[in-house]
Structure 1
Amino acid sequence: MRRMLVVVGHGMVGHRLVREVRERDRTDGWRVLVLAEESRPAYDRIALSSCARGRDPGELTLEGAAFTDDDRVRARLSSPVVRVDRAARTVVCADGTGSRYDALVLATGARPFVPPVPGAGLPGCHVYRTLDDVASIRSRARPGRPAVVVGGGLLGLEAAGALAALGMRPQVVEAAPWLMAVQLDEGGGAVLGRLVEELGVRPRCGVGLRSVDAGPDGRAASVTLADGEVLEAALVVFSTGVRPRDELAADAGLPTGERGGFLVDSHCRTPDPRVWAVGDCAAVEGRCHGLVAPGYRMAETVARQLCGDPGEPCADPDLSTRLKLLGVEVGSFGDAQARTEGALEFMRSDRGGTRYAKLVLDGATGVLLGGVLAGDTAAYAALHALLGSPLPGPPHLLLDPVSP
């Protein structure tokens, strides 16, 4: 007898979960119903900026996302779930239709956070999360006009790069002292900021946003910073983080983490043995991770459980990052901020300020705890492989070709 698996959400992690289940379900014991909020099947969110540069959005669709070749899986687009009844084991969509489940996986993702500043809802203000967001920004971008991106993290810099590709003149406002402050240290952030400014994106770090200000037509025309400076902005993009989509928790009687998200254990299980949560909406032992790699690991462990395997825990994911932003290479791994007690930092940078590297070592054992690279990540793979091990040689030799 086949059982019904309902997956709420069809982002990158939800799609990975379905594929993992289908690959591991050797007896075809599961039928799968995917209920997607968006009007298109799962796509590569990491490549959003390529659509701002003219790429066909259809090319971002993930392999097999339409499930046309799998009669065990059915996907319904534009079908957001609005209620979960755990007693009856049913979900109800916004159009009133419902479905019974034997197992339920919540993969509802996250929504952009917009800070509660005056004017944040004016016409001309956007977020940067979906293909529809990118399409809206493209339709309103005007070459040569100024723009402001609020938030200097990964997505903020991606948004700034998209605006620059559309011919606008973007500035990035970041409250932290340097760009990508979560992943990079001060030295790495300084190199990143210097290089992106050379590419036409001006960072404004260490200052917050006071308001978005309207022009005579009622649309966003400028922003006022916390220090009183006014920046012209024909278009404003907010990229100040995300919040887990856990709205279904209250009616369903499911607990949430202190900072939101469906509270799950290290195997992504809620207190209900029939309900799991994965991806951005999951607070694994109270912590939301917000990266796709930990989400994929969650999807795999849940798929294993559904197919009779206990699965591996997800409590301590690898949050290492290697990226190319606006053509600038950056990377971080392990304890990049040297927060471990007794940690020592070994840093190198070139005289032009275009390359920077740092290793974080255990002061007692010499074990590699983490590192940061900016401007050149050629050594990333080799250094990441050494994480948790003593260095095989002097630190400066491992950091070449960064010059003293």
Structure 2
Amino acid sequence: MTRTLVVAGHGMAGHRLVEEMLARDAGRQWRIVVLGEEPRPAYDRVALSSLLDGATPDDLALAGPDVLGDRRLRLILGTTVTGVDRRDRTVTCGDGTQVGYDALVLATGSRPFVPPVPGHDLPGCFVYRTVEDVAAIRAAARPGRDAVVVGGGLLGLEAANGLRLLGMRPHVVEMAPWLMAQQIDEGGGRVLAGAVERLGVGVRCSTALHAVGAGADGRAERVELADGTVLDAALVVFAAGVRPRDELAGPLGLERGERGGFLVDEWCRTADEHVWAIGECAAVAGRCHGLAAPGFRMAETVARQLLGVAKAGDAFAGADTSAKLKLLGVEVAGFGDAHARSQGAIEYVRDDRRAGTYAKVVLAADGRTVLGGVLAGDTRAYPVLRALTGRRLTASPDELLSPASPAA
């Protein structure tokens, strides 16, 4: 007997679930109904910035004709799930559409966080989340004018680079003491900020947005910071993090994590045996994960359960937050205990200010076990150091941090 799987959301995690189900369901046990809020099928949200550098929405598409043409899949776009009846197992959409389910997977993703400061909703203020957001930013860009990006993490720096490519003069405002504070330490942040500023991007850390001011035409014209600084801003982009889309938790009678998100166990199961949650909206053991890779892992975990092939090792065991990135042409990497928070941790640092590079390896109290590290300006040592995380040193820290050495 064929059963019905309803997936609420067609982002990257939801699409991975669909791919896993279609590929592995050899016995055709399931038909799948996907309810997507955006007007287009799933796309690579991580690559959004490429739309400001010549790419098209089609270049980002994840769903190929083999998936979209599969008769087991029904994809409904431009619709929002507004209610769920857990007793009758039906989903209701904003347009009145009702769909019954045997299994429901919540993959509603997240929404951008916009600081509730005066002027945050003025014309000329944007978020950086969807293809449509990027198109609106492109249309509003004013070459030669100043712009402000609120948020100095990965997304904020990508937005700043996009504005730079559009001919604007971006400034990045970050509350933390340095850029990308979650992934790298102060030394790495200093190298990153210096390189970014040399490209013409202003950096303001350790301060917050206080207000957005309007010009005579009613559009955003300036921003006021908590430290009293006023910056010209013909355009403002909010890229200061996200919040899980968990508004269905109330109507469903499901618990939320302490910081939001549908509370699920390591199998991504809610308290209802017929309902799962994956991706950015899922608080696994109370914690949400804002990266694509953990969402993919959750999707695979749920697919195996639905297909009856799950093994003990298939549970979601957490996320590897290691990252090697190239931002505005600057290479940075953070892995393991990058901030040396482990008790007794030892930091070994090579800081070459003339070359504009910074490298740190964090060792356990025994001085021999690699716990993590940070690289900025030159990440050639990353593969070896990342592979050694949790293991004993194979050479001296100095050798490992030197990309030209045989050890690296």
TM over 0.5: yes
User: Could you say which residue in structure 2 is the equivalent of 1:393?
Assistant: 395
Q: Distance in 1 between matches of 2:5 and 2:355?
A: 53
Q: Distance in 2 between matches of 1:360 and 1:194?
A: 23
Compute the displacement of 1:55 (Å): 1.6
Pairing of 1:53-72 with structure 2 (within 5 A): 53-64=53-64, 67-72=67-72
User: Could you say which residue in structure 1 is the equivalent of 2:283?
Assistant: 283
Compute the displacement of 1:402 (Å): 7.9
Offset from partner CA, 1:250-304 (integer Å, 9 cap, x none)? 0011110011000000110001111100000000000001011111110111111
Contact 1:282–1:288 (CA under 8 A) maintained in structure 2: yes
User: Could you say which residue in structure 1 is the equivalent of 2:250?
Assistant: 250
SS at 2:324 equivalent: strand
Offset from partner CA, 1:153-194 (integer Å, 9 cap, x none)? 010001000000000000001111000001110000000000
Aligned length: 403
Compute the displacement of 1:64 (Å): 2.3
User: Could you say which residue in structure 2 is the equivalent of 1:115?
Assistant: 115
SS at 2:67 equivalent: coil
Instruction: Name which of 325, 328, 332 aligns with 1:326.
Output: 328
Contact 2:346–2:367 (CA under 8 A) maintained in structure 1: no
User: Could you say which residue in structure 2 is the equivalent of 1:202?
Assistant: 202
Greater Cα shift, 385-394 or 303-312: 303-312
Contact 2:11–2:109 (CA under 8 A) maintained in structure 1: yes
Q: Distance in 2 between matches of 1:131 and 1:29?
A: 34
User: Could you say which residue in structure 1 is the equivalent of 2:4?
Assistant: 4
Aligned residue identity for 2:236? V
Q: Distance in 1 between matches of 2:152 and 2:276?
A: 33
Q: Distance in 1 between matches of 2:282 and 2:238?
A: 23
1:381 equivalent to 2:378? Answer no
SS at 2:212 equivalent: strand
Compute the displacement of 1:68 (Å): 3.2
The verdict on how the C-alpha distance between 1:56 and 1:66 changes in structure 2, with shifts beyond 3 A counting, is farther
Q: Distance in 2 between matches of 1:365 and 1:297?
A: 33
Offset from partner CA, 1:56-94 (integer Å, 9 cap, x none)? 111110142783331111111101111111111010111
Contact 1:355–1:402 (CA under 8 A) maintained in structure 2: no
Contact 1:158–1:326 (CA under 8 A) maintained in structure 2: yes
SS at 1:38 equivalent: coil
Contact 1:224–1:230 (CA under 8 A) maintained in structure 2: yes
Offset from partner CA, 1:307-359 (integer Å, 9 cap, x none)? 11235222421111111111111111111111000110111122325211111
1:350 equivalent to 2:352? Answer yes
Contact 1:41–1:65 (CA under 8 A) maintained in structure 2: no
Compute the displacement of 1:26 (Å): 1.9
Contact 1:141–1:235 (CA under 8 A) maintained in structure 2: yes
Q: Distance in 1 between matches of 2:96 and 2:343?
A: 55
Query: Alignment identity in percent?
Result: 63
User: Could you say which residue in structure 1 is the equivalent of 2:316?
Assistant: 314
1:369 equivalent to 2:353? Answer no
Offset from partner CA, 1:100-141 (integer Å, 9 cap, x none)? 000000000000000111111111000001111000000000
Contact 1:176–1:206 (CA under 8 A) maintained in structure 2: yes
CA RMSD, Structure 1 to Structure 2 (Å): 1.3
Compute the displacement of 1:209 (Å): 1.1
Aligned residue identity for 1:58? D
User: Could you say which residue in structure 2 is the equivalent of 1:26?
Assistant: 26
SS at 1:67 equivalent: helix
Pairing of 1:296-307 with structure 2 (within 5 A): 296-307=296-307
User: Could you say which residue in structure 2 is the equivalent of 1:341?
Assistant: 343
Q: Distance in 1 between matches of 2:363 and 2:118?
A: 45
Q: Distance in 2 between matches of 1:259 and 1:266?
A: 17
User: Could you say which residue in structure 1 is the equivalent of 2:260?
Assistant: 260
Query: What runs of 5+ residues in structure 2 fail to find an aligned partner?
Result: none
User: Could you say which residue in structure 1 is the equivalent of 2:154?
Assistant: 154
Pairing of 1:98-137 with structure 2 (within 5 A): 98-137=98-137
Greater Cα shift, 58-67 or 285-294: 58-67
User: Could you say which residue in structure 2 is the equivalent of 1:189?
Assistant: 189
Aligned residue identity for 1:342? G
Contact 1:356–1:402 (CA under 8 A) maintained in structure 2: no
Aligned residue identity for 2:371? L
Q: Distance in 2 between matches of 1:119 and 1:352?
A: 42
Contact 1:67–1:74 (CA under 8 A) maintained in structure 2: no
Q: Distance in 1 between matches of 2:136 and 2:191?
A: 32
Contact 1:107–1:277 (CA under 8 A) maintained in structure 2: yes
The verdict on how the C-alpha distance between 1:97 and 1:29 changes in structure 2, with shifts beyond 3 A counting, is same
Aligned residue identity for 1:331? A
